Structure 1
Amino acid sequence: MSTQAVDKSGTKHGRDSFGTRRVFILAAIGSAVGLGNIWRFPYVAYENGGGAFIIPYLVALLTAGIPFLFLDYAVGHRYRGSAPLSFRRIARGAEPIGWWMTGICAVIAIYYAAIIAWAIRYTFFSIEERWGDDPNAFFFGEFLQAADTPGASLDLVPGVFWPLLLLWIVVVGIMVLGVQKGIGRMAIIFMPLLLLVFAALVVRALFLDGAGVGLDALFSPNWAALTETSVWVAAFGQIFFSLSVGFGIMITYASYVRRRTDMTGSGAVVGFSNSGFELLAGIGVFAALGFMATAAAVPVDEVATSGLGLAFVAFPTIVSEAPGGGLLGVLFFASLVVAGLTSLVSVLEVVVSAVREKIGLSRVSAALWVGLPAAVLSIGLFSTTTGVYVLDTMDHFVNSFGILAAAVASMVALTFVFRKLPVLMAHMNKFGTIRLGRWWQFLVGGLAPAALAFILFRDFMSELEAPYEGYPSTFINIFGWGMVVALIVVAIGLSFLPWSRHTPIEEPGYDDETNSDKEAES
């Protein structure tokens, strides 16, 4: 059937949708499972009590992570729109929150792609162990050709430029194909592939000499750590960042799901699947770090690290020393590529959906309007000799003062300003197998925003003590604080622009299955 009919909740070209609940769940898991699961969780757990960290982690998952995931699902599924449109349908004054989330996703997309491009190159580097005897010097020197100091540069790094260009061609192609044919099919293929590849990596790591030493370091409980506030703060922070909640992704994905869908049951599956993958990542990474520590005859804490240091310095070192290390490296970096790609697509979809509905574009036009400028910015900023400094700064500030702040603002606004929690709870309970009650309203309207606000305040005070990584203040003011402020200003400005006449801004009807939904699927 034609998809040109006017959708009650979308554009004149018909609103996209996931074909089945299973596809939606796989896509949502693909968004949640990203680079942070692999290189952030193991180190956070190790630094905050080891095995004892599982207790605050589970508490945070059950009291903040999954409840907030339900909130995102409720907003998107009820109001049937992108983040800006869903908030606009809640209230006129709520729209800037949606654009704030959209801007955050745009920023994340342009730098996240660079890390995936690095992982693509390192997948092939692993075969011949191209980094030699000094992975640190190779990564920052020969590969990234990083400048001595942060700043602006037009010096192109071909080794980053070409894989980044290739990645953006693939990503824009997926976005053009749409929700079911592009994002949905990618999730069906890549999520089982990711599980198989990463499971193979973990099995290989467990057979390395010294693997048990690493696992002992990770899981030996330090029960005294449970009395430290910082450990609980770390647990809430890890759950929040790993679930992809609070910045529009799950709102957008939920808007593509049929009305008669169990959203609370789906949320529980996504939440526990994400945590299960994090646990698997912890086992694989620390088994490998245990081998590295044993080979170097040093304690695990001297080789344990996270982020870029783990992925592109520590792990290549392990590959060089391990028997059959080339295979280990290929599995690890291929996992980063697959996990990163599914997350990148979800982040970009937030922007595509918002632009499409605001202007009234077709799927293809919106994907090109968003994807091509994003590709140009991404390649222009991160394939230069100063790209790693820009990436590091943007990532730090958009996470700490973008995602956290927007999430707190959305919870406070929905709870106390627009008082929508009872309405959203009733919507989720209509077909949900997990019944929400006052406990859920307390968690998303009280505990979760209070915990995140504390993290936000702590990070802000820390930034006032010293410039991030000792970078020049001008550099930080442009790519750090300047970006944070610009996101808010642009969000407010975009909320004043008129919506396309093809995008109704009133609440959509609540019939169980609209004709336009069926047309979009065909």
Structure 2
Amino acid sequence: MEENREQWGSKLGFIIAAIGSAVGLGNIWRFPYIAYSNGGGAFLIPYFFAIFTAGIPLLILEYGLGHKFKGSTPLAIAKVNKKWEWLGWWPTINAFIILTYYSMILSWAVNYLRFSLTKAWGSDTNTFFHVDFIKLTESPFKFSGVILPILIGIAVIWFINWIICYKGIKGGIEKANKILLPALVVIMIIIVIRSVNLEGATEGLNTLFTPDWSKVMEPKVWIAAYGQVFFSLSLAMGIMMTYSSYLPEKTDINNSAFMTAFANCGFEFLSAIAVFSILGFMATSKGVPINEVVSSGVGLAFVVFPAVFTEMGTLGVILGVLFFLCLLFAGITSSVSLIEAVSAPFIDKFGWARNKVVAVICTIGFLIGILYSTGAGLYLLDIIDNFINNYGIVVVGLLEVILIGWISSPDTVRNHTNEISYFRIGKWWNICVKFVTPAILVFMLVQSILTEVKTPYGGYELSALLAYGWSIIGFGIILALIISKRHWKSKNVVE
């Protein structure tokens, strides 16, 4: 099994795919808002601190484990400690759950790409999105009918995912990323060049980067910085361990981790410049303060930006098409990496053929996608995404550093990566893995739970949070434990 393991065509192919995985929708619609609302320019201090004390150390840890043990996340973790194999299956299940709602967002982007040609959203973009397009119902339990354009979009996305992943690592994922990632960067640069020349762009950029030093000492700002770094680098999702398992024997792991982190960073800054230049234009043209037009996530992409493109006349059509293409490309590079993180563990454990595993994952993913194409789709996305990010991913990351930092030994990974890398990482890495990262993740987890207890997330009823939030976390853990009890069909792990 190990001898026949696929490999990347080149180290560059691996790095491009890893950056493609890291660069996702969160870079475009989450980072600019997080930076703005947490001290602007001053946010960069906790942000870079988080990159060096959690982002890069965890990347090195995941790259090192995947490469050393030549296996997907469950296999690599089982080789460290057989009793902990379930910890490799939990992020695998989380990755699949993320995939199911990611395909819905990308379906929206496909539809909005079409709408942007004629500005079909009209003058009231909020009503168009919530009422006319996604037909949002009044409750997370009221699904209403299937919305055909969204379902068709979901089918298109799953078909693209299937074609790319079916062809494997070198022939599918590497090739696709080599086209999509450069295209994504070029599109974003074009958007930046055009948007910084808009009237009011300077006001937007000043708002984004003006430092509010008083916020640097607030704990919530540091939590936001660590959260952003954690989520935007695809950590604790099973992706990076799986990707690095396809690397040749001699590969510079340490350098690759730094390159991935900084490239992801660079794209976040590029996105922030584009987003806030356009928001500055919007504020100026409407004669309102910028804080009245600033938004994040789904609202920014599908309500605020279409309104801006309408204001821009012909230029709005061009920028609209480019922006939704950008979302689409960023989303596809991430969703492909998630499919690989889900399929590789089953191929490793049960010896199933890649084409069958990928076909089954895409089929099940599409069938679940039918639920998201109903009027309750946005509610499902909102609740599930909150719980997976705040509890699923954070706990997996915490358990990873406990396993390597305390139960096994950080030197297992550090010695391995140092032997094959141009520059060696020192004891600072052990300190981050043993003390800094676990402390921060425990703090984040406690804060999330306390906030949840005080005010249930999003003002939803407890029944909805139990049905779509806590139950998803419980389901992930139980399924992970069940799969980990099955025997390995391959000779990868000594039973």
* Band of TM-score, shorter chain: over 0.9
* 1:247 matched residue in structure 2: 237
Structure 2 counterpart of 1:425, from 400, 406, 414: 414
The normalised TM-score by structure 1 is: 0.93
CA 1:361–1:152: 2 relative to 1, 3 Å: farther
Listed as ranges, the matches of 1:263-342 within 5 Å are 263-323=253-313, 324-342=315-333
* 1:518 matched residue in structure 2: none
SS at match of 1:257: coil
SS at match of 1:221: coil
Is the Cα–Cα contact under 8 Å of residues 75 and 492 in structure 2 kept in the other structure? Answer: no
**222-231 or 391-400: bigger deviation:** 222-231
> In 1, distance between residues paired with 2:215 and 2:247?
42
SS at match of 1:208: coil
* 1:90 matched residue in structure 2: 80
SS at match of 2:357: helix
- C-alpha deviation, 1:384, in angstroms: 0.9
* 1:123 matched residue in structure 2: 113
Opposite residue 480 of structure 1, the aligned amino acid is G
Structure 2 counterpart of 1:478, from 457, 467, 477: 467
Listed one character per residue, the Cα deviations across residues 280-334 of structure 1 (whole Å, up to 9, x for unaligned) are 0100000000011111111111111100111111111111112411111111111
**248-257 or 435-444: bigger deviation:** 435-444
> In 1, distance between residues paired with 2:44 and 2:475?
38
* 1:498 matched residue in structure 2: 487
Is structure 2 residue 449 aligned with structure 1 residue 460? Answer: yes
Structure 2 counterpart of 1:201, from 188, 191, 200: 191
* 1:7 matched residue in structure 2: 2
Opposite residue 160 of structure 1, the aligned amino acid is I
Structure 1 counterpart of 2:346, from 335, 342, 355: 355
Give runs of ≥4 in structure 1 deviating > 3 Å: none
- C-alpha deviation, 1:434, in angstroms: 2.9
Is structure 2 residue 22 aligned with structure 1 residue 32? Answer: yes
* 2:396 matched residue in structure 1: 406
> In 2, distance between residues paired with 1:49 and 1:434?
34
Is the Cα–Cα contact under 8 Å of residues 14 and 247 in structure 2 kept in the other structure? Answer: yes
> In 2, distance between residues paired with 1:68 and 1:209?
42
- C-alpha deviation, 1:414, in angstroms: 1.6
Is structure 2 residue 365 aligned with structure 1 residue 374? Answer: yes
**245-254 or 471-480: bigger deviation:** 471-480
Is structure 2 residue 135 aligned with structure 1 residue 142? Answer: no
Opposite residue 2 of structure 2, the aligned amino acid is D
- C-alpha deviation, 1:369, in angstroms: 2.4
Is the Cα–Cα contact under 8 Å of residues 357 and 503 in structure 1 kept in the other structure? Answer: no
Listed one character per residue, the Cα deviations across residues 61-120 of structure 1 (whole Å, up to 9, x for unaligned) are 111111111001011000111111111111111101000111110110111111011011
> In 1, distance between residues paired with 2:83 and 2:12?
35
Is the Cα–Cα contact under 8 Å of residues 429 and 435 in structure 1 kept in the other structure? Answer: yes
The alignment's C-alpha RMSD in Å is 1.2
> In 1, distance between residues paired with 2:142 and 2:161?
27
- C-alpha deviation, 1:268, in angstroms: 0.8
SS at match of 1:261: coil
- C-alpha deviation, 1:55, in angstroms: 1.4
Listed one character per residue, the Cα deviations across residues 229-251 of structure 1 (whole Å, up to 9, x for unaligned) are 22122111111111111221100
Listed as ranges, the matches of 1:193-232 within 5 Å are 193-232=183-222
SS at match of 2:285: helix
* 2:337 matched residue in structure 1: 346
- C-alpha deviation, 1:279, in angstroms: 0.4
Listed one character per residue, the Cα deviations across residues 456-509 of structure 1 (whole Å, up to 9, x for unaligned) are 110111111122222222221111000011111111111101111x342149xx
> In 2, distance between residues paired with 1:316 and 1:436?
46
SS at match of 1:165: helix
> In 2, distance between residues paired with 1:409 and 1:244?
16
Is structure 2 residue 167 aligned with structure 1 residue 177? Answer: yes
Structure 2 counterpart of 1:160, from 141, 146, 150: 150
| Structure 1: gaps of 5 or more residues | 1-5, 9-13, 508-522
Opposite residue 222 of structure 2, the aligned amino acid is W
> In 2, distance between residues paired with 1:311 and 1:503?
47
Aligned residues: 494
Identity %: 39
Listed one character per residue, the Cα deviations across residues 430-476 of structure 1 (whole Å, up to 9, x for unaligned) are 11123122110110121011111111110111111122222222221
Listed as ranges, the matches of 1:97-108 within 5 Å are 97-108=87-98
> In 2, distance between residues paired with 1:233 and 1:362?
42
* 2:427 matched residue in structure 1: 438
> In 1, distance between residues paired with 2:423 and 2:108?
41
SS at match of 2:85: helix
| Structure 2: gaps of 5 or more residues | none
> In 1, distance between residues paired with 2:118 and 2:436?
50
Is the Cα–Cα contact under 8 Å of residues 176 and 182 in structure 1 kept in the other structure? Answer: yes
**429-438 or 173-182: bigger deviation:** 429-438
Is the Cα–Cα contact under 8 Å of residues 2 and 70 in structure 2 kept in the other structure? Answer: no
Is the Cα–Cα contact under 8 Å of residues 172 and 368 in structure 1 kept in the other structure? Answer: yes
Is the Cα–Cα contact under 8 Å of residues 208 and 276 in structure 2 kept in the other structure? Answer: yes
The normalised TM-score by structure 2 is: 0.98
> In 2, distance between residues paired with 1:438 and 1:388?
45
Structure 2 counterpart of 1:489, from 457, 478, 481: 478
Opposite residue 420 of structure 2, the aligned amino acid is F
Is structure 2 residue 38 aligned with structure 1 residue 48? Answer: yes
> In 1, distance between residues paired with 2:182 and 2:194?
18
- C-alpha deviation, 1:44, in angstroms: 0.6
